[in-house]
Amino acid sequence: MLSGLPVIYGIDPYEYEAVPSHPLGSIGYTDDGRKFRYCKNNGTNAMVAGNVQQSPVEDTGDEDLAIAAVAAIGDKQVSLAAATVTANQYADGYLVITVTPGEGLYYKIKSHEAATAATVVINLYDPLKVALTTASNADLVANPFNGVIINPTSATGVPVGVAMTAVPASQYTWIQVGGPGVCFADASGAVTVGAIVTASNQTAGCVEDGDTDTQGIVGVAITGIAQGEPGLVDLKIS
């Protein structure tokens, strides 16, 4: 039986809600074919229309954690040592095996309890494909759509979409990832029509003519965009 994230057609991209009506990361389309992802805003700051949104800030303290106990092929639980997490902080995120045995494989996280510098059991949706030992290490990676923030000038995550409206903190909403969408050029210069645009390293939430070596790609400019003003970009985020 096939399963996975739903695809919803004819969405209202301006709606937001306190209680989620779709799984995080669900794909939505407007009637004209623009593409969106369903997300939760961070708990502190409201979204700003036309601002690029980033995934939650990387927590390097939850990377390269030691495996606390052997886990066999087929197991759906993995014990990590010395973890500091809140309950279900990484639910619907990913467990990435970084040191062999199992290096290079990753698994979607179903749930876990809270822990403070202690062993925590990570429950997985799918069974392990390679047995893990206490020689293995793993990263905990949050769902990129759970607690998005305005894209900072120095990347701490990856661009995940563009806000459509002023969405309050902790609300669930749609952010645009594909098709014609409005972005703001940063305060340092205009954007050239036809140019690849990336997340700005000058003004948070804005875009600039692309520096694709160091900044995340947002799309291609449909029009020229004056310095500090909004303009239309063919978004190519996800």
pLDDT, tens digit (0-9, with 9 covering 90-100), for 188-203: 899 999 999 999 999 9
pLDDT of 198: 96
pLDDT tops 50 at residue 99: yes
> How much is the mean pLDDT over the chain?
96
Alpha carbon separation from 152 to 55, 199, 206 (Å, rounded): 11, 9, 9
Contact assessment for residue 130 and residue 73, using Cβ atoms and an 8 Å cutoff: yes
For the purposes of burial, counting CB atoms within 10 Å of the CB of 48, is it exposed (0-12), middle (13-18) or buried (19 or more)? middle
Q: Give the CATH class of 60-141.
A: mainly beta
Confidence of residue 3 (pLDDT cuts 50, 70, 90): low
* Among 113, 120, 36, CA closest to 79: 120
Q: Which residues of 156-185 are buried (b: 16+ CB within 10 A; e: fewer)?
A: ebebbbbbbeebeeebbbbbbbbbebbbbb
**What's the pLDDT score for residue 214?**
83
pLDDT, tens only, 27-68: 999 999 999 999 999 999 999 999 999 999 999 999 999 999
User: Measured between alpha carbons, how far is 40 from 60 in angstroms, rounded to an integer?
Assistant: 22
Output the pLDDT for position 6. Answer: 86
Q: Average the pLDDT over 177-195 and give the result.
A: 96
101: which DSSP letter? S
Comparing C-alpha atoms, which of 61, 83, 55, 62 is closest to residue 144? 55
125-154 tens-digit pLDDT: 999 999 999 999 999 999 999 999 999 999
pLDDT value at position 2? Answer: 47
- 81 pLDDT more than 80: yes
d(CA 41, CA 97) in angstroms, rounded, equals 28
d(CA 183, CA 177): 12
C-alpha 86/C-alpha 224 separation (Å) is 45
Across 85-111, average pLDDT: 97
Q: What are the extents of the domains in the chain?
A: 7-56+146-236, 60-141
- The whole-number pLDDT of residue 238 equals 84
Q: What dihedral angle (degrees, nearest 10) is formed by the CA atoms of 84, 95, 25, 91? A: -40
Whether 217 has a pLDDT exceeding 50, the answer reads: yes
pLDDT tens track for 150-170? 999 999 999 999 999 999 999
